[in-house]
């Protein structure tokens, strides 16, 4: 676009388009632009969907915990975790005398927090230190692992005298 000064008072636009934007070339230019956008948008949408859960991590951790406090049939234990995601572990272990127990395990690692819900069965409920095994499902994750999901297995031993718990977890996490 060119602008010229007219009689010292008003500005006036002179209609002069470059040849590439002349009206006869606009439909072709629009078609090329739309074709390019059509190719880019689905590729971007696919890559963002893949980027959401771009990593899969095989997790194996173990923790030997001691009793912090108890409330009725709920035990609160904590201790250090060693393995794929080292850090501090806190467990809310629910044992009401039945062979089925449940727990909420939270690992506080350097890169984020992972919380899993567990359901397990005691192997010998009358033993002073019964072992248990069951399943776990990732309930919540934050930090580097935010939005993650996954599942796996939980194994452990529950000491009835000291209320100490040893837990091993293994599973797969997608983040």
* Predicted confidence (pLDDT) per residue in 97-156, tens digit: 889 999 999 999 999 999 999 999 999 988 999 999 999 999 999 999 999 999 999 999
pLDDT tens-digit readout, 7-26? 444 444 545 544 544 445 44
Q: What is the reported pLDDT for 32?
A: 46
Look at residue 100 in the predicted model and tell me its pLDDT. 95
Q: Is the pLDDT of residue 3 over 50?
A: no
pTM over 0.85: no
pLDDT of 24: 52
The 3-class secondary structure across the chain, one letter per residue, is CEEEEECCCEEEEECCCCHHHCHHHHHHHHHHHHHHHHHHHHHHHHHHHHHHCCCEEEEEEEEEEEEEEEECCEEEEEEEEEECCCEEEEEEEECCCCCEEEEEEEEEECCCEEEEEEEEEECCCCCCCCEEEEEEEEEEECHHHCCCEEEEEEEEEECCCCCCEEEEEEEEEEC
Fold of 56-174: AOC barrel-like (2.40.350)
Confidence (pLDDT) at 53: 58
Model confidence pLDDT, tens digit, residues 52-72: 557 999 999 999 999 999 999
* Confidence bin at 36 (pLDDT 50/70/90): very low
Domain ranges (residues) in the chain: 2-52, 56-174
């Amino acid at each position: 676009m060119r602008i010229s000064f007219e009689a010292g008072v008003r500005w006036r636009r002179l209609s002069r388009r470059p040849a590439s934007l002349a009206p006869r070339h606009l439909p072709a230019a629009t078609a090329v632009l739309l074709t390019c956008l059509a190719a880019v948008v689905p590729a971007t949408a696919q890559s963002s969907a893949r980027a959401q859960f771009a990593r899969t991590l095989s997790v194996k951790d173990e923790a030997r915990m001691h009793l912090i406090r108890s409330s009725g049939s709920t035990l609160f234990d904590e201790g250090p975790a060693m393995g794929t995601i080292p850090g501090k572990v806190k467990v809310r272990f629910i044992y009401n005398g039945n062979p089925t127990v449940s727990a909420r395990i939270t690992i506080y690692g350097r890169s984020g927090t992972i919380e899993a819900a567990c359901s397990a069965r005691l192997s010998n409920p009358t033993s002073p230190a019964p072992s248990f095994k069951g399943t776990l499902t990732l309930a919540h994750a934050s930090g580097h692992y935010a939005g993650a999901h996954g599942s796996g297995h939980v194994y452990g031993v529950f000491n009835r005298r000291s209320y100490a718990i040893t837990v091993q977890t293994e599973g797969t996490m997608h983040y």
